[in-house]
Chains A and B, each alone.
Chain A
Amino acid sequence: MSPCRGKCEEKFDGIRRTIPGAPDFDLHGYCAGGCRPCHRGPTRHERRQLPDEADPPGGAERARRRHLFDLEFDRDSPTARIGRHAWPLLYGTVREEDNERAQVAALRRDDLAALATQAQAVGRRLQARLDAVQQLERAPAATGRRETDRENDRNLARIEAVFGRELRVLPVFKPANAGDLASAFEASESLQGDEPWPVMTFFQRAARVRDRVARLDLVFTYADAVTRSVPMRLRVAQLPYAPRARWLALPLRTANEEPLGGRLSLVAHLRGTMSPRASLTGLVVDEWVEVIPKRRETTGVAFHYDQPGAQAPQALLLAVPVEGQQAWTRDALAETVLDALELAQLRAVDAQALAEGGHFLPALYFAFNVKGDSVSTDFKRVAATPP
């Protein structure tokens, strides 16, 4: 059982309370010493980095820390409350950088003063964030949206106020094709020819040319090197799902095989398995299109050929047989077409084209009689009408 258990828990609870409903953060790593979940003893590595475990409560180490609080904080002020919360964080950073116990123990008085100043600064920042959260609580609720959406927005705003923009909260969703997805990811190994490794090679190659993939790769490399507890577990799905299909990222089986055609290939680092009923959450890291070229390509030979300029007419001619005549004759049809063409030419005739005929045609004569003895058209009035 850890010596400072209880006290630390209290502080952590304070932090947890700030974000209601947040998952249970493991804050024990921030504790100055001693405190750790009772079910797990410190590893040898950690023991080496921590202040002496044997240090009894109220021993020198503890006294020094108490001294730090007493030195700078009025115990009941809000700043002190936050300062106490800030302390594990602050002390955590000290521990990270100077991992030699001797150095922690040898903190001089002016070091402590400097630390206290820093703790105050951290305290002020935390206070500002708490204030921001309280501000949010007081803000009038947005209207016009669904209750759940408003609640989500409020919680997101709270989390952002406390932790800043870097902490991303991911939405949980249920894909419409969950069943397909689950069976597609289930077939991950059979897609890769019953081997687990081709996807790793694919990923490593992509990491060389795609920056986002490279960053993910680096995260896994670091995680693997440092903890070995988050092994990269890449699974492959190919949609639309077809049993016994082969992953298109792999070489084709034979030289004459035709690629399947357009497929969506998903490569995911999954924690657990994809189940048809489970809700999903995740990050999209990168996406791109790969094209398998064809063995034969269509090119072309161009040639010059003088084609006629004639075009099909733009009107339909409905020809009706002459009355009394039962059957069409070829001549009659040809005459009809020629007539139509002639009429078309006539259609384009205007007064100027008529030349001398223009004296009489078009025969648009309108009478005008002042006394109204005949039907009169007064063009003056027509011309005066504004268009």
Chain B
Amino acid sequence: MASITTWTRLEPRSRRDSLERGLQAAVHDPLWLLARQWQLGEFNGEDAGSPVVARLQIESASVTKVAIGPEGRSRDFHGEAAPLDVVVEAEAVRGSDGGTLRERVEAGLDLLRRLQARRVSRAVRSAIAAAAPLRPPTGEELAALDTGTLRFLRIMAGRVPDGGALARQVRRATPAGSTHPRLPSEWRVPRANRASVREVVEEWLRALESLMQEGRPRGSAWIPERLEYDFRLAARAAEGEVVLRAREFDGGGLDWHAFDVEPGASLGANVTRQPHVDMSVPAPATFRGMPASRWWEFEDSQVDLGSIAAEPEDLPRLLLIEFAVAYGNDWFIVPVDLECGSIGRVGWLIVADTFGIRTSIPHYAETRRDATWSMWANAGARQGADVPRWLFLPPVAARTMDSAPLEDVSFVRDEIANVAWAIERVVESASGRPLDRARDLQERAELRRDPARDGPPPASGVLSYKLASHPPANWIPFLPERTEPPAIRLRRGALAVDSGAPAEGPRSRLLGDANAGTTWLFEEEVPRAGVRVVRRLRYTRWTDGSTHLWVAKRKTVGRGEGSSGLRFDHVVLAPK
């Protein structure tokens, strides 16, 4: 009996609607790997070769001139001696009296230590120390000084010499033009010790002066009316002199984009052109989140360009995404060694590919007749001017250590009182430490309180008339003022003083400095967001191994508007 045999055919189906399996990029046999490459177009031939060698001609010119301030005179710039930050930002801080108490004490003790190390006798040292003792504070000073400084003075006064005064005595005794210091007669150094003491003093003065970098007291780059730095640099490139101006530099990190070109300007820069030709291997330019061009390659998950949301009208975003995704892998970099503080102008760039075909790559400006702007070039001040064709490498400190703010002043608008305020939050105390101004005012007010004079506080629930309210003494008003031609500027004022309290002007150097203090402001410099200006010490090393310490200002965005509660002619209800 025959039986029935049926046949079943198995049909494998490898296609699916879901992309999940496909995106897993699984790996199978070698033929399958090749098949996948073929599918992804990795075997398609193109009429192109990979670049293998690039020859680059570049001409560099050093920055040789600097002009500090908007009208500053041109002077020589030595990029190898100090970073540009120091040249631009450094303030004159120590003045003729030798700086803060702490600096003077340190200097005094330093001299004694040096003398002791040279085996100068105790008697001679005592005589020198006695020539300029640090005196205890007078009654007036006692009222004005903060507690930290008083504590410092209580220990130091009478015990240590005032190094600033000692240095001043030496300078006074030294005839003008002499490089070697003379010992002042009031030191009463015995004849036998004079030579060694003079040597020590010379070393000491040198160390004292080189401790900090100081700018000139007048003509600094800081514009007090704008709370910004302004300076210019110049170098002589192939197309003539190039003057770069940093107009609205806020302090802090300087980089090439802080500079604009000043066409037609001249600071008389010297010729330092150095053309040279480099040969190197071009490397593909990469950026974070760059799509990998191959299927089996891991991408950086930190940046996901695919998740950038862009509306159809967000052209810049769409352009960015398209560039990154579609054309990002067509860019190459050739390394260029440039001296810090120079501008480099690329003469020509020739690239040879794997087939030996040479291509000359033109500058961006040459590819388009109408090119007037480029993202990666210093902006030209003149409309329609050519795109600058060089690379500027500013000689700036790469890494600095900054101290806590010595001064912290906020500029805020107070629309209700129709004034702007400069609020001194932190100022430098007489002993050179950051001093919280509000706390200091409170401490001193408590010390000054005298119930006998001030009378008892008003009984609760009683109405009393006040001519004006009293914002804290560290709030300094800037009053609007009309100028000719019509504009508004903010001029520093002062508030009527509370009875009994001594008048307090600005305590910060930022406002109160005789040469560079802010006495008026352009109205637009205090925007609604406010402005915060901080002075701090900065420390860095430079290419010659030298160490630089200087005081710099920095402007940042503030924290919005403020209200002082300033009112006139009002009635107050005493609190319960």
Where the two chains meet, the residues of A that have a C-beta atom closer than 8 Å to any C-beta of B are 196-197, 200-202, 204-206, 208-211, 217, 221-222, 224-226, 231-232, 248-252, 255, 257, 259, 288, 290-311, 313-316, 340-341, 343-345, 347-348, 350-352, 358, 362-371, 373-374, 377, 379
Which of B3, B38, B114, B330 is the one whose CB lies under 8 Å from A304?
Answer: B330
Interface core residue of A202, A290, A308, A367 (most chain B CB under 10 Å)? A308
Quick check: A221 and B48 within 8 Å, CB to CB?
no
Q: Does B221 contact A (CB under 8 A)?
A: no
Quick check: A225 and B160 within 8 Å, CB to CB?
yes
Complex A-B: 22 CB contacts under 8 Å: A209-B537, A225-B109, A293-B340, A293-B541, A296-B340, A297-B393, A298-B337, A301-B346, A301-B391, A303-B332, A305-B331, A306-B48, A307-B48, A307-B329, A313-B43, A345-B35, A347-B32, A348-B39, A362-B11, A364-B9, A365-B7, A368-B7
Quick check: B545 and A208 within 8 Å, CB to CB?
no
Quick check: B359 and A305 within 8 Å, CB to CB?
yes
Which of A210, A296, A316, A374 is the one whose CB lies under 8 Å from B401?
Answer: A210
What residues on A are CB-neighbors of B212 within 8 Å? 205, 208
- Beta-carbon contacts under 8 Å, B240-256 to A: none
Q: Does B277 contact A (CB under 8 A)?
A: no
What residues on A are CB-neighbors of B46 within 8 Å? 308-310
In the bound complex, CA of A204 to CA of B155 (Å): 20
- Beta-carbon contacts under 8 Å, B531-576 to A: 537-539, 541-547, 549
**A375 CB to closest chain B CB, in angstroms?**
10
A368-B346 contact given A206-B539, A308-B50, A341-B34, CB 8 Å threshold: no
A-B contact count (CB 8 A): 256
In the bound complex, CA of A365 to CA of B156 (Å): 105
Quick check: A291 and B541 within 8 Å, CB to CB?
yes
Which of A226, A257, A305, A367 is the one whose CB lies under 8 Å from B155?
Answer: A226
Q: Does B335 contact A (CB under 8 A)?
A: yes
Quick check: B41 and A309 within 8 Å, CB to CB?
yes
In the bound complex, CA of A2 to CA of B459 (Å): 62
**B142 CB to closest chain A CB, in angstroms?**
19
Which of A208, A299, A305, A311 is the one whose CB lies under 8 Å from B549?
Answer: A208
Residue of A nearest to B108 (CB): A225
Quick check: A294 and B543 within 8 Å, CB to CB?
yes
Which of B41, B294, B334, B399 is the one whose CB lies under 8 Å from A301?
Answer: B334
Contacts beyond the supplied A302-B332, A308-B48, A366-B8: 11 A-B pairs with Cβ under 8 Å: A205-B212, A209-B549, A252-B544, A257-B545, A291-B398, A292-B542, A293-B541, A303-B351, A303-B361, A310-B46, A364-B10
In the bound complex, CA of A239 to CA of B225 (Å): 50
What residues on B are CB-neighbors of A294 within 8 Å? 340, 543
What residues on A are CB-neighbors of B337 within 8 Å? 296-299
In the bound complex, CA of A96 to CA of B160 (Å): 21
What residues on B are CB-neighbors of A257 within 8 Å? 545
Q: Does B404 contact A (CB under 8 A)?
A: yes
Which of A226, A300, A316 is the one whose CB lies under 8 Å from B159?
Answer: A226
**A209 CB to closest chain B CB, in angstroms?**
4
- Beta-carbon contacts under 8 Å, B147-163 to A: 155-156, 159-160
In the bound complex, CA of A251 to CA of B480 (Å): 51
A297-B338 contact given A204-B211, A208-B539, A366-B8, CB 8 Å threshold: yes
In the bound complex, CA of A360 to CA of B568 (Å): 102
What residues on A are CB-neighbors of B546 within 8 Å? 251
Q: Does B123 contact A (CB under 8 A)?
A: no
Which of A196, A250, A343, A363 is the one whose CB lies under 8 Å from B545?
Answer: A250
**A13 CB to closest chain B CB, in angstroms?**
34
A293-B397 contact given A314-B296, A365-B9, CB 8 Å threshold: yes
Quick check: A200 and B334 within 8 Å, CB to CB?
no
Which of A224, A314, A340, A368 is the one whose CB lies under 8 Å from B6?
Answer: A368
Quick check: A305 and B51 within 8 Å, CB to CB?
yes
Q: Does B12 contact A (CB under 8 A)?
A: yes
In the bound complex, CA of A304 to CA of B364 (Å): 10
Quick check: B56 and A301 within 8 Å, CB to CB?
yes
Where the two chains meet, the residues of B that have a C-beta atom closer than 8 Å to any C-beta of A are 3-15, 29-39, 41-46, 48-51, 54, 56, 58, 80, 102, 105-106, 109-110, 113-114, 116-117, 155-156, 159-160, 203, 207, 210-212, 282, 285, 293-294, 296, 329-340, 344, 346, 349, 351, 359, 361, 391, 393, 397-399, 401-404, 537-539, 541-547, 549
A366-B3 contact given A293-B542, A315-B34, CB 8 Å threshold: no
Quick check: A298 and B335 within 8 Å, CB to CB?
yes
Quick check: B34 and A344 within 8 Å, CB to CB?
yes
In the bound complex, CA of A196 to CA of B346 (Å): 49
**B36 CB to closest chain A CB, in angstroms?**
8
Quick check: A310 and B8 within 8 Å, CB to CB?
no
Quick check: B7 and A371 within 8 Å, CB to CB?
no
What residues on A are CB-neighbors of B537 within 8 Å? 208-209
What residues on A are CB-neighbors of B43 within 8 Å? 310, 313, 341
Quick check: A255 and B361 within 8 Å, CB to CB?
no
Residue of A nearest to B39 (CB): A348
What residues on B are CB-neighbors of A347 within 8 Å? 29, 31-32, 34-35
In the bound complex, CA of A300 to CA of B41 (Å): 32
Quick check: B35 and A344 within 8 Å, CB to CB?
yes
What residues on A are CB-neighbors of B393 within 8 Å? 297, 299
Residue of B nearest to A360 (CB): B9
What residues on B are CB-neighbors of A311 within 8 Å? 37, 42, 293-294
In the bound complex, CA of A300 to CA of B280 (Å): 11
What residues on A are CB-neighbors of B293 within 8 Å? 309, 311
Interface core residue of B110, B338, B359, B543 (most chain A CB under 10 Å)? B543
**B310 CB to closest chain A CB, in angstroms?**
23
A379-B334 contact given A204-B106, A209-B537, A221-B105, CB 8 Å threshold: no
Quick check: B49 and A308 within 8 Å, CB to CB?
yes
Residue of A nearest to B160 (CB): A225
What residues on B are CB-neighbors of A303 within 8 Å? 54, 282, 331-332, 334, 349, 351, 361
What residues on A are CB-neighbors of B51 within 8 Å? 305, 307
**B376 CB to closest chain A CB, in angstroms?**
8
Which of B155, B159, B547 is the one whose CB lies under 8 Å from A249?
Answer: B547
A373-B155 contact given A293-B541, A299-B336, A305-B51, CB 8 Å threshold: no
In the bound complex, CA of A369 to CA of B58 (Å): 85
Quick check: A348 and B35 within 8 Å, CB to CB?
yes
In the bound complex, CA of A156 to CA of B246 (Å): 60
In the bound complex, CA of A104 to CA of B34 (Å): 100
In the bound complex, CA of A239 to CA of B334 (Å): 37
In the bound complex, CA of A131 to CA of B102 (Å): 45
Quick check: B545 and A252 within 8 Å, CB to CB?
yes
Quick check: A299 and B338 within 8 Å, CB to CB?
yes
In the bound complex, CA of A99 to CA of B538 (Å): 43
What residues on A are CB-neighbors of B31 within 8 Å? 315, 340, 343-344, 347
Quick check: B545 and A292 within 8 Å, CB to CB?
yes
What residues on A are CB-neighbors of B285 within 8 Å? 302
Residue of A nearest to B359 (CB): A305
What residues on B are CB-neighbors of A305 within 8 Å? 51, 282, 330-332, 351, 359, 361
In the bound complex, CA of A296 to CA of B537 (Å): 27
What residues on A are CB-neighbors of B58 within 8 Å? 301
Interface core residue of A217, A299, A300, A371 (most chain B CB under 10 Å)? A300
What residues on B are CB-neighbors of A232 within 8 Å? 113
In the bound complex, CA of A202 to CA of B538 (Å): 14
